[in-house]
A and B are shown apart, each in its own frame.
Chain A
């Protein structure tokens, strides 16, 4: 019963969602919209589970004085501060000009932008290591990457040829490869959906 009922819920909800795709009648449309909203609401309640997990792990590190426990204190302070500042004035707490948003703009946003900027370094180091691999595959990858990168740089008499080649690569073989991957993903994902609906794939359900 503990496992059978969830599998039945999966089957019924999955089959319903497939059937409603073909039925434009509004009675099915209503249920579809409700189902989508219910999933969002479940996700919102699950946020509390997430906060509980983060708090528990951090508090545990502080209590056991695990290595780096001081940084867990920082995590808890940051979390508690944002939760307090974001709720104490009701929905006005998150308006522009509040301390909540000041922290967002002056602490969160710069760190996020810098993490994103790290990609500039990592993309160079990834290219270097791929080049060192010296296989046919990595050579094709890097030569193509070079042609595409150079399309934006003036190369004198070679500019025209490079740009034409880059444009052709982006519109023709690139499109062919993407289609092959998309079709494969389409078939694989569709099969996975069927496996889930029919209860063949049920690892996510766990065991007792």
Chain B
């Protein structure tokens, strides 16, 4: 009985061996066979770019994600003539059917990609052991576009907003009066300056740690101009320590203009608007010292602030100063809200110049902001309703391609 079982096992083993061996050879031979090549290769200028890129697309090889599923990557080759030498330009993993052949725009760069020149492309589908190539596509020429179509929503938004602002400014010029609701932080400015005058102590104005290029700093300059005018009228000293030399230069011009507007140019002292250092915490250490030694009655923190905002606000609080703050830095607003007496949150900082001067043109621009905001709110409401019913139209209006 045992012999019979042994014989059967041996026969089975021999049989399987001679069956599996040729099968494995057949399977192994299959991987050395080239896959079906990519087809429908198209090469053309990359849209909405600076003219140094060509986009190549193709239909995936039959063995990519289907068939033998052994395609691992695609190589993209380029030549300056259809029969010339083709050079590999890049590689993408299997499953991808697009590639952007791009290069530098400077002629002296070794990776320079010349525009307005014919190029020909082939796409090679690769397995681990073999490959196949598509036919030649081309000629393709790269050239720069004069308008980025993907940014059309931004263009429309720019035009619309500009027209709104100009329209309201035009209305303001014709004498139309605009109402704006009271803002606590702005209403407190006069009282804060009055307090400093009564106590005979100076006012401290901090423009923040931004540069003259930051919009929050520019908004703060306008506020500084108004406050400088008021301090000149009250004959109160104003100290403006600066973190940036250009900001210092602009602040000097701004304060001087405020004193001129108040009819007190003789009271202007340039040494009260000075530069300290551009390093964040060194600046704060020095400002802390100024607050305590000069015993400032009122502190304004209006502009761009970072982690030092709380140190400034708390030191001012210890010194017993009234503090009015405003910034567009989201991360610092909570600390100003907690530690200062009045805070202008985000947009209120930009509106402050219109509030303080009550100039019709500035109020007109503020009204345009509100109209834009109303349009945004309407878009949000309608957009959310449309999205609930799966209408994608509103979303497309606000989608920007970069």
A53/B245 in contact, CB under 8 A: yes
Tell me the complex Cα distance, A207–B282, Å: 32
The reply to whether A22 and B376 form a contact with Cβ atoms under 8 Å apart is no
Chain A facing B: main interface SS: helix
In the complex, whether A34 has a CB less than 8 A from a CB of chain B is no
19 new A-B contacts at CB < 8 Å, known A22-B147, A54-B275, A181-B346: A23-B146, A53-B248, A53-B274, A57-B274, A108-B282, A112-B282, A126-B338, A127-B338, A129-B338, A181-B333, A188-B347, A188-B369, A189-B350, A196-B218, A201-B222, A203-B221, A204-B222, A204-B254, A207-B260
Beyond A23-B148, A203-B254, is A188–B249 a contact (Cβ under 8 Å)? no
CB distance from A173 to the nearest CB of B (A): 14
Bound together, the chains give a CA A141 to CA B345 distance in angstroms of 15
> Are the CB atoms of A200 and B148 closer together than 8 Å?
no
A18 CA to B211 CA in the complex, in Å? 20
A160-208 contacts to B, CB under 8 A, are 178, 181-185, 187-196, 198, 200-201, 203-207
Question: In the complex, what residues of A have CB within 8 A of residue B158's CB?
Answer: 18
What is the CB-to-nearest-CB distance from A1 to chain B, in angstroms, rounded to a whole number?
17
> Cα distance A130–B341 when bound, in Å?
10
Main secondary structure of the interface of B (DSSP, over half): helix
Asked if residues B254 and A49 are in contact (CB atoms below 8 Å), the reply is: no
Are A187 and B256 closer than 8 Å at their CB atoms? no
State whether the Cβ of A111 lies closer than 8 Å to any Cβ in chain B.
yes
Contacting residue for A141 out of B49, B280, B334, B362, CB 8 A: B334
A191-B369, A206-B253 known; A46-B245 Cβ under 8 A: yes
Q: Are A49 and B373 in contact (CB under 8 A)?
A: no
A207 to B254, CA, bound (A): 8
Within 8 A of B (CB), among A109-145: 111-112, 115-116, 118-119, 122-123, 125-127, 129-130, 138, 141
Lowest 10 A-B CB distances belong to which pairs?
A: A206-B253, A50-B245, A188-B350, A184-B347, A203-B225, A25-B144, A188-B347, A115-B281, A53-B275, A207-B257
Known: A22-B154, A60-B271. A122 touches B361 (CB 8 A): no
* Alpha-carbon distance between A193 and B214 when the two chains are bound, in angstroms: 10
Q: List 17 A-B contacts (CB under 8 A).
A: A24-B49, A24-B144, A25-B145, A26-B144, A46-B244, A54-B274, A57-B271, A57-B274, A119-B307, A123-B335, A129-B338, A181-B333, A185-B350, A193-B215, A195-B362, A200-B169, A206-B252
B275 near A25 (CB under 8 angstroms)?
no
Contact residues in B for A187 (Cβ distance below 8 Å): 347, 369, 372-373, 376
Asked if A70 CB lies within 8 Å of chain B CBs, one says no
- Report how far A115 CA is from B362 CA in the complex, Å: 40
Contacts of B274 in A (CB 8 A): 53-54, 56-57
Let me know if B50 is at the binding interface, CB within 8 A.
yes
**Would B151 and A22 count as touching, CB distance under 8 A?**
yes
Closest residue of A by beta carbon distance from B285: A115
Contacts of B213 in A (CB 8 A): 39
Given contacts A125-B314, A189-B350, contact A43 B281 (CB under 8 A): no
Check A194–B350 contact: CB distance below 8 A. no
A35-69 interface with B by 8 A CB criterion: 39, 42-43, 46-51, 53-54, 56-57, 60, 67-68
Q: Is B302 an interface residue (CB 8 A)?
A: no
Residue in chain A with minimal CB distance to B217: A204
Interface string of B200-218 (1 = CB under 8 A from A): 0000000000011101101
Contacts of A183 in B (CB 8 A): 373, 376
A190-B365 Cα distance, complex, nearest whole Å: 10
The residue from B260, B339, B350 contacting A126, defined by CB atoms under 8 A apart: B339
Of the candidates A56, A57, A138, A195, the one having the most CB atoms from chain B within 10 angstroms of its own CB is A195
A141 → B minimal CB distance (Å): 7
- How distant is the Cα of A111 from the Cα of B281 in the complex, in angstroms? 8
- Contact of B257 with A203 in the complex, beta carbons under 8 Å: yes
How far does the alpha carbon of A183 sit from the alpha carbon of B373 in the complex, in Å? Answer: 8
Which residues of B does A touch, CB under 8 Å? Answer: 48-52, 105, 115, 144-148, 151, 154-155, 158, 161-162, 165-166, 169, 211-213, 215-216, 218-219, 221-222, 224-225, 244-246, 248-250, 252-254, 256-257, 260-261, 271, 274-282, 284-285, 293, 307-308, 310-311, 313-314, 317, 328, 330, 333-335, 337-339, 345-347, 349-351, 353, 361-362, 365-366, 368-369, 372-373, 376
Chain B residue at minimum C-beta to C-beta distance from A54: B275
- Asked if A102 is at the interface of the complex by the 8 Å CB criterion, the answer is no
Interface band, chain A: 35 or more
Taking a contact as CB atoms closer than 8 A, the residue among A18, A27, A49, A205 that contacts B245 in the complex is A49
Which B residues are CB-close (under 8 A) to A24? 48-50, 144-145, 148
Closest to B261 in A: A207
Within 8 A of B (CB), among A66-122: 67-68, 108, 111-112, 115-116, 118-119, 122
Q: Which residue of B lies closest to A118 (CB)?
A: B311
Q: A43-B246, A200-B169 given as contacts; is B154 within 8 A of A21 (CB)?
A: yes
Residues of B with C-beta under 8 A to A112: 279-282
**Cβ–Cβ contact A54 & B276, under 8 A:** yes
Contact of B339 among A49, A57, A129 (CB under 8 A): A129
Contacts of B252 in A (CB 8 A): 206
